[in-house]
A and B are shown apart, each in its own frame.
Chain A
Amino acid sequence: MTEPLLEVRDLTVEFRSGGAWHPAVRNVDLSIAPRETLAVVGESGSGKSVTALAVMGLVPAPAGRIAAGSSIRLSGRELVGLGERELDRVRGDRVAMIFQEPMTALNPTMTVGEQVAESVRAHRGLGAQAARREALRVLDLVKVPSAARRMDDYPHQFSGGMRQRVMIAMALACHPAVLLADEPTTALDVTIQAQVLSLVEDLKREHGLGVLFITHNLGVVALIADRVAVMYAGEVVETAPAAELFETPRHPYTEALLASMPRVDRDVGALEPIQGNVPSIREIGPGCAFAPRCAHAQARCRESRPRLEPEGAARSVRCWLRTASP
């Protein structure tokens, strides 16, 4: 296996609520190789967005913090503990991020061209003219039609899909090694989603990017992921190559999630809902976070928390039922 571009080890992110710190992300391990898309899939409150923000050094202080012992390595360089100035040099240059709402994530009072050029100017120290030419090149790259004319338009003059292309252009302007995509297609219609997903895939292949793709949609995962990390209540509960995950889900949560999804390609008969609700970060007990909703939970699941154990060469799972049996 090639040297990972991004390696997250034992990442814990806490938020202050009612005078106490609660972990929104707990002991997360992830890694991404060049030309690899790792999909992080989970429901609301699973901590997937917080994980990405932590990688960017954008966990909002003072309400949130990265706990001691966490490690985030980008091409071998430790990011946790870097100062703001050093982080600014990395952000947007070596690692970039695109967000869910392309409407609100762009500055309404700056033209699209200025916003793309801004990152180039910040990281490459280019002059206004050169930065503008570079911005045009990137906008062409992400297939914004007649980019030369449109780069002086403002974000509100673009459609949702085009805005997301602009976001991608901004992220890729400085040729980052890793792209973090936080539900970039959730706010888009399915036909537009398909276009944006193909764009990300093409760019990944052409530029050797590592992509961390966050989504709640298992269907999207199936389309784009090489590997998958399933998150629940702040933890990674299962990682697997995409094909194997859908074929043989190992964690009861993954299994239940697949069984509860209505599908467009075939009749599934009766759906099997997961009982109960996604827990908030303040109400997680000492045991497995999924135990209260798990159909197979045993006494031990409620008492102590399982570890993420490797299973074979490429998989791992956090479940007593899997690790206990040989």
Chain B
Amino acid sequence: MSAPAAVLPARGWTRRFRANPTSWLGVALIAAVVLAALLASTIWPLDPLEQNVAERLMAPTAAHPLGTDTFGRDVLARLLHAARISLLIGAFSIALAMTIGSAIGIAAGYLGGWFDAAVTSLLDVLLSFPTLLLGLMVVAMLGPSMGNLVIAIAITELAPFARVARAPTITLKGRDFVEAGRALGFSDLRLVVVHIIPNLLSEVVVVASLWLATAIRTEASLSFIGLGVKPPTATWGGMIREGFENILDAPWLALAPSLAILVTVLGLNLLGDGLRDAIDPRARRD
């Protein structure tokens, strides 16, 4: 009397997601950040690059609600525009890492044998390697630019995606419905594309939302170290770095971008967590 074996995409996950208040908090935070990034110039029409030496390091006022930095630039405007950069770099690098990483993971899981063994041990190394150092190394080699930053962050996140895609591929490959497909004369390509990928997509997407948070963190860290997008373009990490240099005189400079990162990353984590709790069959055990 076997209980219905939990099939990967659990039914009714949208209902469970909606029933979880913390997922809603995540949605709200992310929506706020995305809107702020999209409507940056509308919300606060000051130029983030305009310098005004006379007004440098000013504490928050009505004209500059978050104060000004060492060059007298408006911090709020910079904060809003930096959101675009962070989200763009995060999104692009995740898209890249997800596509390539999942492809590697699916191939390794499906083909098995020595190929899988080689890929797995490579992934283990890559996975345990300090993300930040890896990114650092890549950017140091390639030179800092937005494209290179995207590549560097994507490289640091290939392994998690490959790993996440590989495990269910192996499970699914052993499932009777894939075996039935082979017995029905379906090609490997068809089995992978029609029968395996749709069943693991939800898991990959969940991981994507969690790793998007990490990507944004990595980007900020690299900018903080000075390997991010080149100044004067505003980034959160870069702003914290500048604020940090003046931390004794103008502590608010570091505070605002710190909170921005926190809100974004927390929002993404809440969202991803909510998604995973809703989808992951293990989390559903009551």
Direct contact of A and B (CB under 8 A): yes
A102 to B55, CA, bound (A): 76
A216 touches B286 (CB 8 A): no
Chain A hits for B286, CB < 8 A: 60, 63
Chain B hits for A183, CB < 8 A: 1
Q: How many residues of B contact A (CB 8 A)?
A: 3
What distance in Å separates the Cβ of B10 from its nearest Cβ neighbour in chain A?
Answer: 15
A183 to B1, CA, bound (A): 10
What distance in Å separates the Cβ of B4 from its nearest Cβ neighbour in chain A?
Answer: 10
A186, CB-defined interface residue at 8 Å: yes
A201, CB-defined interface residue at 8 Å: no
Write out, one digit per residue, whether chain B residues 1-44 have a CB within 8 A of any chain A CB (1) or not (0). 10100000000000000000000000000000000000000000
Chain A hits for B3, CB < 8 A: 44
Chain B hits for A60, CB < 8 A: 286
User: B-side binding surface: helix, strand, loop or mixed?
Assistant: loop
Residue of B nearest to A63 (CB): B286
What distance in Å separates the Cβ of A165 from its nearest Cβ neighbour in chain B?
Answer: 23
User: A-side binding surface: helix, strand, loop or mixed?
Assistant: loop
What distance in Å separates the Cβ of B168 from its nearest Cβ neighbour in chain A?
Answer: 22
A226, CB-defined interface residue at 8 Å: no
A216 to B1, CA, bound (A): 8
A183 to B2, CA, bound (A): 12
A43, CB-defined interface residue at 8 Å: yes
Chain A hits for B1, CB < 8 A: 43-44, 183, 186, 216
Chain B hits for A44, CB < 8 A: 1, 3
Chain B hits for A216, CB < 8 A: 1
A60 to B3, CA, bound (A): 17
Residue of B nearest to A60 (CB): B286
A63 to B284, CA, bound (A): 13
Write out, one digit per residue, whether chain B residues 261-286 have a CB within 8 A of any chain A CB (1) or not (0). 00000000000000000000000001
Residue of B nearest to A16 (CB): B286
A60 to B1, CA, bound (A): 20
Residue of B nearest to A48 (CB): B1
A63 to B1, CA, bound (A): 22
A183 to B3, CA, bound (A): 14
Write out, one digit per residue, whether chain A residues 26-50 have a CB within 8 A of any chain B CB (1) or not (0). 0000000000000000011000000
A60 to B285, CA, bound (A): 12
Residue of B nearest to A100 (CB): B1
What distance in Å separates the Cβ of A14 from its nearest Cβ neighbour in chain B?
Answer: 15
Chain B hits for A43, CB < 8 A: 1
Write out, one digit per residue, whether chain B residues 67-99 have a CB within 8 A of any chain A CB (1) or not (0). 000000000000000000000000000000000
A204 to B42, CA, bound (A): 83
What distance in Å separates the Cβ of B160 from its nearest Cβ neighbour in chain A?
Answer: 28
A179 to B286, CA, bound (A): 27
What distance in Å separates the Cβ of A82 from its nearest Cβ neighbour in chain B?
Answer: 24
A283 to B3, CA, bound (A): 18
What distance in Å separates the Cβ of A218 from its nearest Cβ neighbour in chain B?
Answer: 14
A6 to B286, CA, bound (A): 30
What distance in Å separates the Cβ of A319 from its nearest Cβ neighbour in chain B?
Answer: 25
Residue of A nearest to B3 (CB): A44
Chain A interfacial positions (CB closer than 8 Å to B): 43-44, 60, 63, 183, 186, 216
**Given known contacts A44-B1, A44-B3, A63-B286, what 5 new A-B pairs fall within 8 Å (CB)?**
A43-B1, A60-B286, A183-B1, A186-B1, A216-B1
Chosen A-B contacts, 8 in total, with CB atoms closer than 8 Å, are: A43-B1, A44-B1, A44-B3, A60-B286, A63-B286, A183-B1, A186-B1, A216-B1
Chain B interfacial positions (CB closer than 8 Å to A): 1, 3, 286
